[in-house]
Structure 1
Amino acid sequence: MSTSSSTFTDSRPNSFLPDITDDFQLEPLFPPTCSPGADDVAANDCDPNAVLTTKDLLVEESPSIGSKLPDLPPAATDEVVLTRETASLHDLPPNAAPDGGLSAILVVVASFLTNFCILGIQYSFGIYQKYLPNAEFKGRATAAEVSLVGSVSFGVMNLLGVYSGRLADVYGYRLMVFVGTLIMVFGLALSAFSTELWHLMVTQGLLVGIGCSVAYFPGVAVNAQWWDRYRSLATGIAVAGAGVGGLAFANGSEVLLDTVGLKWTLLITALATLVLQLVAVALLKTRFPTRSRPLREALSNAIDWQLFKTRAFPPLIIGVFLNPFGYLIAYYFIPSYCQAQGLADTSGAMLLTVINITSVVGRIAVGFLADRWGNVNCYFASTMFAAISCLGIWLWTAAIPGLVVFAAVFGFCCGGLASLMPSVTAQLFGTKGLATSIGLIYSAEAVGHLAGPPLAALLIRDDSPLPSRGYAGLIAYAGVFSLAAGVCLAYVRYVVLDRTVWKKL
C-alpha cells in the first residue's frame, strides 16, 4: 500500500492529568448535520479530506495487519509523527483524541452510567432465573423456558447492534441513547403487569432488548473519540459500570422480589433506569459531526463488508460468536446451581456479587494493563483464563470457598473481555464509524445470547459423579466454548498480527 508523503504532527501533553479548564458545552439532543458534500463521503465522516477506510487494511494491499501496528515513541516524547501507516491506531489530526479535559471525563461518566443500567440489568437476570420458576410461574414454566426471557433480551440487544451502531453514526449518539432509554424503560414498566411467561418474553425480553441495543452501542463507542493513549483505561472505567450495575441490580432485585414482589421490583427498576439514563444523555457529547441520511439508506449500508476482506476480522468475529455460549452460563445459572447443591438461599446472590465486584476490578485493571501490554494480548489472555476457571475450578467444586475462588477469577476475566472489545476494534479497524464496527461485532454474539443458556439448561441432569453433580455437563459446555473462542483469538494474535511470542499488540 502506498504511503502518503505528507506527515502530521500531533502534540500531546506529557502528563495524563487532564486539563479541566476547557469549556464544556452539552451537545444538543438533535445534533446539527453536516452540509451536503460529495456522495462518496461516508455518512459517519463529514471531513472530505479523511480518506482512510477499511480498504487500507485489505489483504490485497497489506500482506499482514501486523505491519500496521508500529511501535510508537515513548510517552515522554513531545511530538508523535503520524502517517497513514499508524492511522489504524491513531486518528490523523485535526481529529486526534484530546486524551483529557472535562468533556472527555464527563463522557466516561455518561458511558459508565449507560453500562451500569443496561448491562447491570442484563447481568442480574440470574436472580429472576431462580425466582420465577419457584414463584409466579411455579409449575407453569421450566428453568430452560424462563432462561429464554433473559436470552431474548441479551440476544436481541446484540443482534440489532449492527443497525443501532449505524444509526448512531448517522443520526447522533445522544439521540440514539435517548430513544433507546425510552424503549427500555417502557418495556420494563410493561413487564410489571405480565401474567404469562410469553408476556415477559415480549416485554422484559424483546422490548428491553431493543432499547438496550439502541442505547448501548453509541454509549460504549463514544469513549474512543476522546481517548487515544489511555483509551483502554478510559473504556475500562466506563464499562466497569456494568459490574457495579450488576452488583446493584442483582442484590436490589433479590431484596425487592422477596419484599414487594415481581410487579413493584420491575417498576422500581424502570424508574431507576430512567433517571440514571437521562443523566447519561445529558453528559454525553461527541466530537465528530453527523451527516443525516434517509433511514432506508442508513440501514441498507449498516454492514461494512470491507471488514470481512481484512485478515483479522473473520477469526475475530468467529471468536466473538463463540464467547457468549461460554461466559453467560455462570451469570444465568450460579443461583440455581447453589440451590441444587443445597447451599444457603443467599449463596447465589453472594456469588453473583463476587463476580460483579471482581468484574469491576477486572475492567479497570485489565484496561490499565492493556495500555501497556497491548489490547489484543490482554483480550486473548482474558478469554483463555475464563475457560480455565470453568474447566479447572467450577467443574470440580461444590463448596462455598471453591466457588468464591471461581467467581473471583471468572469475574475478573469477564471484566477484561467487556472492557477490551471496543479498544481492540478501534485498534484494528479505526475509530471512524466505530459504533457501526462495534455493533457488527457484537451482533455476532446474538446467537450465543439467544441459544447459549437454553441449550446449557438442557444439559442439567439429576446427578453426576463429579462434585458439580447434575451441572457438570452445563459447566463443561461453558468452558469448551470459551476455550474455542480463545483459539480463534490466538489465531488473530499469533498468525494474523505477529508470530513473536511476546510483543505489545
Structure 2
Amino acid sequence: MEEVRGSPSLSSDTEKGPTPERNDTTQLSNAHNGKSLPPMDGGMNAWLFLAACFVMEALVWGFAFTYGVFQAYYSEIPEFKNTGNIAVVGTCAMGIMYLDLPLVFAAYRQWPKYQRLGCGVGVLLMCAALGLSSLATNVNHLIITQGIFYAIGGSIAYSPCILLMEEWFDKRKGLAFGVMWAGTGIGGVVLPIVMEQLLGRYGFRTTLRGFAIVLFVLTAPLVYFVKPRVPIAKNRPSPSLPNLSFLMTSTFGLFQICNIIEALGFFLPSLYLPTYAGMIGASASLQALTVILFNLASVVGCVLMGAIIDKLDVTVCILISTIGSTLGVFLIWGFSMTLAPLFIFSIVYGLFAGSYTSTWPGIMRDVVLKKPSAESSMVFASLAAGRGIGNLVSGPLSEALVKGLPWEGEPGYGFGSGYGSLIVFTGVTGVIGGGSYVARRLKWL
C-alpha cells in the first residue's frame, strides 16, 4: 500500500504499528478448547498467512499505483481524449481505499467473524469493477468502476490482512509488516510493465477483462489463508465502540493537517510522470519506466525510514522526507526537459516522498502517549482517511492546474512546459507537509 506502507521495524507494542488492540482471545496460550493453536511467528500457517497478505497487497495496491500508465493511455485514445477528469479515476482508486479504512476497520472490529467473508466479497467486487470498467464509453464510467467500486472492494478485501497480522506475528511483527508492505512496491514495479505491454497490444477493454480474471484466479484462493489464528468464540461479547477522543487532541490535529496537505501533492507525480515523459518524446515503455522507478525507490525509502523512525523524533524523520522530496521537485523535475533527469527525479521522489507514510508509526506513538485510551489501529485508519481526503481532492485540482497548459513557454524548462503550476503545487504542499517539525520547535506538539 503506497501508499498504506509502514515501518518494517514495527516490532513491539501496538503503539508502534497499525494493528488493533489485542482482544483477550489473542493473549490465550496455544490451547483453545483443548485444541492446539498454530504457533506465532513461524510455522506453515503463519507463513502462508503472510504470503497471502503479500500477494493481496501486491495486486490490490500495486494495480492502483499503476494508474499513471492507464492515464497516459486514456489521454491518447479517441474514447477519452480531450475529456476532463481522467486523473480523477486514479485518485478515486487510491483515495477511497485510504478514506474508508476507519469505517471498514470499525466494522471488522465489531463483527470479526465476517472478516474472511468480507475479504472474499471484496475480491469479487474488485473483479466485477474491472470487468465493468472495460465497458466504459466515457470518463464518468471509469470513475465509478475503475475508481470508486474498485477502491471499495480493495479496502474490504485488504483490511483483514492488517487487522489479523498481530494474531500471527508478535516478535517478528516488524518483519511481517515489512514483507507485506513490500508487496505494493513489487506490484508497482511489475504491473506497469505488464499493463503498458497489454494496453499497447490489446487495448484497455481486453486488458481490464484479462486482469480481472487474473486477479480473481490469484486472490480468490488467498481468502482461505486470511483467517484468525485464534478461533472466534460464538458467545463472544460485542466490543465497545472505538474511543475516538484522540481526534480532538492538538497532537493528532497538527499531524493530520500536515498529512492531508502533503497528500494533496504527493500522488500527482506518479499520475503525471508518464504523460510528462510522453510530452518530451518518451516512448510508451519509457513512460512506464518513470512509474516503475518511483515505485521501486519507494520500497527502498520505506525500508530506510522504517530503520530510523524508532530511533529519531518523528518530526525529524518527516523533515528528512520533506527536504528530499521538495528539493527533488523544484530542482530536478522543475528543470527536466530530457528523460535522464526525469528518471533521476522519479528515484529521488520515490525515496523521500514515498517514505512519508513510514513516519506514521512515530505519529501513532506520539498520539498514544498524549491520549493513552487511543487505539493504534484507529489512529492509523484516521491518518489513512486524511491521506485519502488529500488524494481525492488532488484529482480534480490537478486537472484544473494543467488545464490550458498555464505558464507554457514562459518561465522555461519544466516550469514552462505547461505543467509548471503542477510542479510548484507539488513542491509547496510537500513543504507544508513537513510543518510538524516547526510545530515541535515552537512546542505546539
From 412, 415, 426, the equivalent of 1:478 is 426
Paired letter, 2:89: V
**Partner deviation per Cα, 1:27-51 (whole Å, 9 max, x = no partner):** xxxxxxxxxxxxxxxx976439xxx
From 408, 411, 414, the equivalent of 1:465 is 411
Equivalent position of 2:255 in the other structure: 316
Equivalent position of 2:100 in the other structure: 160
Paired letter, 2:341: G
Equivalent position of 1:24 in the other structure: none
Equivalent position of 2:216 in the other structure: 274
Paired letter, 2:103: Y
Normalising by structure 2, what TM-score? Answer: 0.79
Equivalent position of 1:353 in the other structure: 292
From 138, 145, 155, the equivalent of 1:213 is 155
Q: Distance in 2 between matches of 1:140 and 1:110?
A: 41
- The answer to which of 469-478 and 382-391 deviates more is 382-391
- The answer to which of 271-280 and 464-473 deviates more is 271-280
Equivalent position of 1:169 in the other structure: 109
Unaligned 5+ residue runs, structure 1?
1-15, 19-42, 49-90, 498-505
Unaligned 5+ residue runs, structure 2?
1-8, 12-19, 31-38
Equivalent position of 1:438 in the other structure: 380
CA radius of gyration, larger in: 1
Equivalent position of 2:342 in the other structure: 403
Matched, 1:148 2:104: no
CA drift of 1:138 comes to 4.4
Paired letter, 2:24: D
Which one has a larger percent helix, Structure 1 or Structure 2? Answer: 2
Report the secondary structure of 1:447's partner residue.
helix
Equivalent position of 1:47 in the other structure: 24
CA drift of 1:349 comes to 0.6
Percent identical residues: 26
CA drift of 1:289 comes to 6.7
CA drift of 1:325 comes to 0.9
**Partner deviation per Cα, 1:379-404 (whole Å, 9 max, x = no partner):** 55324422332123211222222112
- The answer to which of 451-460 and 329-338 deviates more is 451-460
Check whether the contact 2:196–2:285 (CA below 8 A) recurs between aligned residues.
Answer: no
Matched, 1:450 2:392: yes
CA drift of 1:265 comes to 0.6
Normalising by structure 1, what TM-score? Answer: 0.71
Please list, as runs of the form range in 1=range in 2, the aligned pairs for 1:292-311 lying within 5 A after superposition: 301=241, 304-311=243-250
Aligned-residue Cα RMSD (Å) equals 3.5
Check whether the contact 2:259–2:433 (CA below 8 A) recurs between aligned residues.
Answer: yes
Equivalent position of 2:4 in the other structure: none
Report the secondary structure of 1:342's partner residue.
coil
**Partner deviation per Cα, 1:287-332 (whole Å, 9 max, x = no partner):** 5776899xxx99x956x42112444311122122112211101110
CA drift of 1:418 comes to 4.0
Q: Distance in 1 between matches of 2:250 and 2:135?
A: 49
CA drift of 1:161 comes to 1.5
Check whether the contact 1:377–1:493 (CA below 8 A) recurs between aligned residues.
Answer: no
* Paired residue total: 406
Distance 1:478 1:195, change over 3 A: same
Check whether the contact 1:165–1:437 (CA below 8 A) recurs between aligned residues.
Answer: no
Report the secondary structure of 1:470's partner residue.
coil
